[in-house]
Amino acid sequence: MRTSRKVLPATLRCSSSCKTMPIENSLRREFLKRAAAGLAGAALAANAGGGIADAATPDAESFDVKSYGAKGDGKTLDTAAINKAIDAAAAAGGGTVHFPAGGYLSYSIHLKSNVTLYFDPGATIIAAETPAEGVPPGGPGYDLAEPNQWDKYQDFGHSHFHNSLMWGEGIENVSIVGSGRIWGKGLTKGTGAANPGVGNKSIALKNCHNVLLRDFSIFHGGHFGILATGVDNLTIDNLKIDTNRDGMDVDSCRNVRISNCYVNSPWDDGICLRADHALGSSKQTEFVTITNCYVSGCWEEGTLLDGTYKKFGPDARVPHTGRIKFGTESDGGFRNITISNCVFEGCQGLALETVDGALLEDVTITNISMRDIMSAPIFMRLGRRLRAPEGRPIGTLKRVIINNVVCSNSVSGLGSVISGIPGHYIEDVKISNVQVLHQGGGTKEDAAYQPPEFEDIYPEPDMFTAAPRQGRNGRGPNGDFVPEGQGRGGAGRSATAGQPGQVTVDGPPRPGQGRGAGAPQPPRHKMPSHGFYVRHVKGIQFDNIDIRTAHADERPAFFLDDVEDADFFRIKVPHGADAPVFAMHNVSDFGVHMCDGVSDTRLQRVDTKTL
């Protein structure tokens, strides 16, 4: 039941004999009065809160889940009571479903249009557990994964939405707010996700618009803390996510604002933009802003949330992923995206990938601080995996500006990598005001290494340093793409629940985040440059780049292969390692100016040259 119901003021109550005009005038006056009061209140909230108004608190029209039978004791299954409260709010035309402090054990919660879920401080939504092998028909569990005829073009977790702790499809004007917590205790991060009754996502949204997620935290969120696919007008603000796979995935969405979030995701991506084919169309992810966020892959799960910040020990087998990434699924495309004022710690670096036929264009990235980066600080890849409907052409990657990046204590084996494929170039890239301190130690043998093209394999920053680890790369025995689990392995990896602050590593992680075979590992190489490896690129400019090494490195700072129109200004690199600054192969229209140790030079074309 609702706590109470508002009564219309006398100025708005009228019998059927009233005339239309007085009602309209009264409505107009009442609207203006309330709007003025609301604006004043918002201004006060913004001033008090440092510029961002607090999320709405439950008002007199809220629907308290305990009034609908929820116990909130962390033991009793509250699924029916929660959904009953949501249904009541939706039937009333909208409202706020209120969760007082307590633990609410639940299976699938059904989000509805015009309904806000509000979590009080101390309120925790707990994902109930199910056996990995699933439950019998009619047994308690999460909603079944709905059919998707396009599921061969993306992994199982991306293709289905109903098998989640909270999900909504085709809804509008939805909010989840408040400083409570979602604990995905019973969610899998992969293994068994296709079995009946098993859940694998904390929040899943499909084909929605006008969605607000603010102020709550997610612990141990399953395969995805948040999966938003086909969501327009999406705001994600002030979330803390400390999880065992992806933090948040924004897929085929338009008009998105992600701000002020903390994401610790050691086993997979932190903030990930995708554009897959789960909707049966090639919808782009566009008009996106990511700002003032922190991503990490170095903290034991739960220790970001409890404030103890415990780093993994040196023997822990953890991929330390945790990054901001475009891709891998890239059937639709990415355009008009900005990333600013973000911090990376103990994780991989920026990754911009289009390998499934998508365009990636008009991107600006600025004011990025990185520490203890485990792979390439900057990775840009145009490839031809083409996990998309037949006939899809190779995509494009162009018009990208990266500015004001500082990176300290990066591993040295990769440097940054910008690579297209033969005949398909990355175009019009500007990188400026970058300072990188990496560990160094490269040898002349490393400098002589010739990275393979690997045009059609799964993209990762270390993809060029060893033989492919991804087997058939999503394809069945006949070479066609097949759904996950049908001739190409299972739906992800196993998962155990764990408690906040407790490390829960369920077996050694597989290389490539579950996409390839395990040990033995193939022999590994280092890239032939320690600063930037640039291949199959047209139109690239570097300005004010400072690369430093903790130990001497005998590789060139820059290696250019099949590059047209490359300009370098104000470049600083280490001296004394008896290594060139530039190594070039098949390069045209090359210029360098004010580079420490290299005279100003303009070259129309060179086959092989060092400077």
User: What is the residue-wise DSSP string for 500-556?
Assistant: TT-----SPPPHHHHTS--SSPPP----S-SSEEEEEEEEEEEEEEEEEESS---S-
Range list of β-strands (E), 90-245? 95-99, 102-106, 109-110, 115-119, 123-127, 166-169, 172-178, 181-183, 201-206, 209-214, 217-219, 224-229, 232-237, 240-242
The pLDDT of residue 464 is above 80: yes
Give the distance from CA 53 to its chain's centroid: 25
**Average pLDDT value for residue range 319-323:** 96
Given a contact cutoff of 8 angstroms between Cβ atoms, the answer to whether 397 and 426 are in contact is yes
**Average pLDDT value for residue range 464-489:** 66
**Architecture per CATH, 63-134+141-347+465-514:** 3 Solenoid (2.160)
Residue 302: which H helix or E strand, with range?
A: none
The pLDDT of residue 86 is 98
DSSP string for 124-164: EEEEPP--TT---TTSS-PPPPPP-TTGGGS-HHHH--SSS
The conformation of residue 314, written as its DSSP 8-state character, comes to: T
The pLDDT of residue 59 is above 90: no
SS3 10: helix
The pLDDT of residue 1 is 53
SS3 449: coil
Given a contact cutoff of 8 angstroms between Cβ atoms, the answer to whether 591 and 585 are in contact is no
The pLDDT of residue 379 is 98
The pLDDT of residue 80 is 98
Cα–Cα distance measured from residue 301 to residue 501, given in angstroms and rounded to the nearest whole number: 6
Question: Using alpha carbons only, how large is the chain's radius of gyration in Å?
Answer: 26
Q: What is the mean pLDDT of the chain?
A: 86
SS3 419: strand
Give the distance from CA 429 to its chain's centroid: 23
Q: Which two tokens stand for residue 227?
A: 């999966």
- pLDDT tens column, 262-291: 999 999 999 999 999 999 999 999 999 999
Q: Which residues contact 153 (CB under 8 A, 6 or more apart)?
A: 276, 277, 278, 329, 331, 356, 387, 388, 389, 481
**Average pLDDT value for residue range 180-201:** 95
- pLDDT tens column, 336-387: 999 999 999 999 999 999 999 999 999 999 999 999 999 999 999 999 999 9
Confidence of residue 130 (pLDDT cuts 50, 70, 90): very high
Confidence of residue 2 (pLDDT cuts 50, 70, 90): low
Confidence of residue 596 (pLDDT cuts 50, 70, 90): confident
Cα–Cα distance measured from residue 97 to residue 105, given in angstroms and rounded to the nearest whole number: 16
Confidence of residue 14 (pLDDT cuts 50, 70, 90): very low
**Average pLDDT value for residue range 393-402:** 97
The pLDDT of residue 495 is 35
Cα–Cα distance measured from residue 557 to residue 547, given in angstroms and rounded to the nearest whole number: 8
Between 470 and 304, residue with greater pLDDT:
304
Confidence of residue 473 (pLDDT cuts 50, 70, 90): low
- pLDDT tens column, 222-268: 999 999 999 999 999 999 999 999 999 999 999 999 999 999 999 99
Confidence of residue 139 (pLDDT cuts 50, 70, 90): confident
The conformation of residue 459, written as its DSSP 8-state character, comes to: P
The pLDDT of residue 322 is above 60: yes
The pLDDT of residue 456 is above 90: yes
The pLDDT of residue 500 is 33
Confidence of residue 11 (pLDDT cuts 50, 70, 90): very low
Confidence of residue 576 (pLDDT cuts 50, 70, 90): low
Cα–Cα distance measured from residue 382 to residue 456, given in angstroms and rounded to the nearest whole number: 10
The pLDDT of residue 467 is 77
Going from N- to C-terminal start, the domains of the chain cover 10-48, 63-134+141-347+465-514
Given a contact cutoff of 8 angstroms between Cβ atoms, the answer to whether 147 and 158 are in contact is no
Class of residue 317 by CB neighbours under 10 A (exposed 0-12, middle 13-18, buried 19+)? exposed
The conformation of residue 65, written as its DSSP 8-state character, comes to: G
- Ranked by mean pLDDT, the top range of 433-447, 479-493, 497-511 is 433-447
The pLDDT of residue 56 is 55
The pLDDT of residue 484 is 64
Selection from 429, 274, 283 nearest residue 353 by Cα? 274
Cα–Cα distance measured from residue 598 to residue 569, given in angstroms and rounded to the nearest whole number: 11
**Average pLDDT value for residue range 520-526:** 69
The pLDDT of residue 411 is above 60: yes
**Average pLDDT value for residue range 39-48:** 40
Type of residue found at 88: A
Q: Which residues contact 466 (CB under 8 A, 6 or more apart)?
A: 521, 522, 523, 524, 525
Type of residue found at 100: P
Q: Which two tokens stand for residue 346?
A: 């103990």
**Average pLDDT value for residue range 501-514:** 33
Q: Which two tokens stand for residue 610?
A: 């060092």
Confidence of residue 469 (pLDDT cuts 50, 70, 90): low
Q: Which of 116-125, 206-215, 507-516 has the lowest mean pLDDT?
A: 507-516
Confidence of residue 512 (pLDDT cuts 50, 70, 90): very low
- pLDDT tens column, 69-82: 999 999 999 999 99
The pLDDT of residue 26 is 45
Provide the whole-model pTM. 0.86
Selection from 132, 223, 243, 231 nearest residue 181 by Cα? 243
Between 510 and 473, residue with greater pLDDT:
473
Strands 582-593 and 601-610: antiparallel
The pLDDT of residue 6 is 41
Cα–Cα distance measured from residue 406 to residue 434, given in angstroms and rounded to the nearest whole number: 6
Strands 359-371 and 333-345: parallel
**Average pLDDT value for residue range 58-64:** 76
Longest dimension (CA), the chain: 95
- pLDDT tens column, 536-565: 999 999 999 999 999 999 999 999 999 999
Length of the chain counted residue by residue:
611
Selection from 93, 324, 119 nearest residue 202 by Cα? 119
The pLDDT of residue 50 is above 70: no
Confidence of residue 13 (pLDDT cuts 50, 70, 90): very low
